[in-house]
Amino acid sequence: MEKRRVKKVHIKSYGCQMNVYDSQRMGDLLGPLGYEAVAGPEEADLIILNTCHIREKAADKVYSELGKLRLLKQERAKQGGETVIAVAGCVAQAEGEEIVRREKSVDLVFGPQTYHRLPDLLKARVATGKAVVETEFPAEDKFAHLARTLPKRGVTAFLTVQEGCDKFCSFCVVPYTRGSEFSRPVTQIEAEARALVDAGVREITLLGQNVNAYHGAGPDGEISSLAGLITHLSRIDGIERLRFTTSHPRDMSDDLIEAHAENPKLMPYLHLPIQAGSDRVLKEMNRGHRAEEYLKLIARIRKARPDIAVSGDFIVGFPGETEADFEATLAVTREVRYAGAFSFKYSPRPGTPAADRADQVPEEVKSDRLARLQALLGTQQKDFNQACLGRQMPVLLEKPGRHPGQLIGRSPYLQGVYLDAKGHAIGDMVNVTIDAVGSNALSAHIHP
Ligand code: 5AD
Ligand code: SF4
């Protein structure tokens, strides 16, 4: 009998961590169909771009990548090879048919809610000989259709527990591309967490667009909060660390703040975007809170867990933002003292309310404000790292370093830590003292 040829799949992820998770799950689904993952597109029989639509540049990158892949596909065809090109994720959801109209070499288009149908979509492509576009929001639970046993993973993994968003911030496409809020049941998440532990994982980051709005069915039939889910998962042997992202200030409940004080497996790191510091802008963004409320929240969280690393997201140049509004963003930033943050120029997204406003901020003003904010955030990040010098902390070893005997681990605050790891292996938790602070990472020695 002829041996079935191993097919190669290359999956490229853009944007958020949820896409990284989705890409991994697509890989899990394709394994049993005879696909093996490869790092580059050159040899691949199937190329999947798992796309992001959050800002304009993200979608532009996809079209330029598709242009390159078209040439690759033509080259391979000349040598008798066949390449299937698929566009997945939020650009696929938002653009649908438009993608196959604009780029004829694309074979499959499917949104974030339908990737569990990937094996069927591939079959449909072969059967019809035509491009297949699948962007509906199906009624079935896609998570129930994903692979149950997982191939070996690294030490850290993402686990999506909540998806979608009902907040409708006026700048954001997420409620349109990912749909309305949905929380997975606790037992389903627990089963996946256990499978991840069996696959070698020690640290799990729970993901959701609005993760702290989590309200899944609990094992006892009650609705569980995110704090309840964290308590439940932290009882699993083999899970050493839990994190969660991204949170909304409006859903930062008391029990979640408590969990940061009480649960030793929950890491002292909180990504809590404020977006802007001016109350007028926050209102027009439809954020549902004022700057003062955010600052009070941070103070309460710091009281519960004084060493917590706070990170955030910012948008500069939202329509109508004045210099005084922007200075309010700088003022809030100075008060919070972020350990790290992501900051972006406002990008009008078609279909969102803010995109139609006439008072768009000129590009050069946005650039100037972004540079000023990033300079401040950069200094704060350095200060946070510098304050770790001489401190002792546990580090989870994740991957090999550049030099022989060196491993790279992660601090509780999500910093990369280089160390000489003689006698220790990837997956070990070691106690270290921080010896030096570089621009991107810390270095440390292990306590004997
Ligand atoms: N323009 C710029 N940044 C945006 N974000 C979301 N939508 C936009 C937009 N239209 C940012 C927000 C969000 C992060 C994931 O992306 O800061 O928290
Ligand atoms: Fe977008 Fe706002 Fe929902 Fe976050 S909370 S996903 S920024 S709409």
Tell which residue, 194, 169, 184, has the closest CA to residue 226. Answer: 184
| Rounded CA separation 227/266 (Å) | 10
Q: Does residue 169 line the site of ligand 2, with CB under 6 A?
A: yes
Instruction: Annotate 228-282 with DSSP letters as a single string.
Output: HHHHHHHTSTT--EEEEE---GGG--HHHHHHHHH-TTB-SEEE---B-S-HHHH
Predicted TM-score (pTM) of this structure: 0.94
Provide the pLDDT for residue 2.
46
Spell out the CATH class of 7-134: alpha beta
Q: Which atom number of ligand 1 is nearest to the Cα of residue 347?
A: 1
Q: Does residue 170 line the site of ligand 2, with CB under 6 A?
A: no
Q: In terms of CATH architecture, what is 275-387?
A: 2-Layer Sandwich (3.30)
Name the closest ligand to CA 248: 2
Instruction: Kindly state the DSSP code that residue 355 receives in the 8-state scheme.
Output: G
pLDDT digits (tens, 9 = 90+) for 72-117: 999 999 999 999 999 999 999 999 999 999 999 999 999 999 988 9
One-letter amino acid at 405 equals: G
| Cβ-based neighbours of 289, under 8 Å, separated by 6 or more | 249, 250, 282
One-letter amino acid at 263 equals: N
CATH value of 392-446 in 2.40.50.140, 3.40.50.2300, 3.90.25.10, 3.30.465.10: 2.40.50.140
Provide the pLDDT for residue 3.
55
Helix (H), strand (E) at residue 406:
strand 406-410
Q: Does residue 209 line the site of ligand 2, with CB under 6 A?
A: yes
146: three-class secondary structure by DSSP? coil
148-267 — its CATH code? Answer: 3.30.750.210
Q: Which atom number of ligand 1 is nearest to the Cα of residue 173?
A: 7
Distance (angstroms) between ligand 1 centre and the Cα of 273 equals 10
Provide the pLDDT for residue 294.
98
379: three-class secondary structure by DSSP? helix
Using alpha carbons, list the distances in angstroms from residue 202 to 93, 160, 447: 33, 16, 21
Domains 7-134 and 148-267 share a fold: no
Q: Tokens 């799950």 correspond to what residue?
A: 25
Ordered by start, the domain boundaries in the chain are: 7-134, 148-267, 275-387, 392-446
Residue 41 confidence class, pLDDT cut points 50, 70, 90: very high
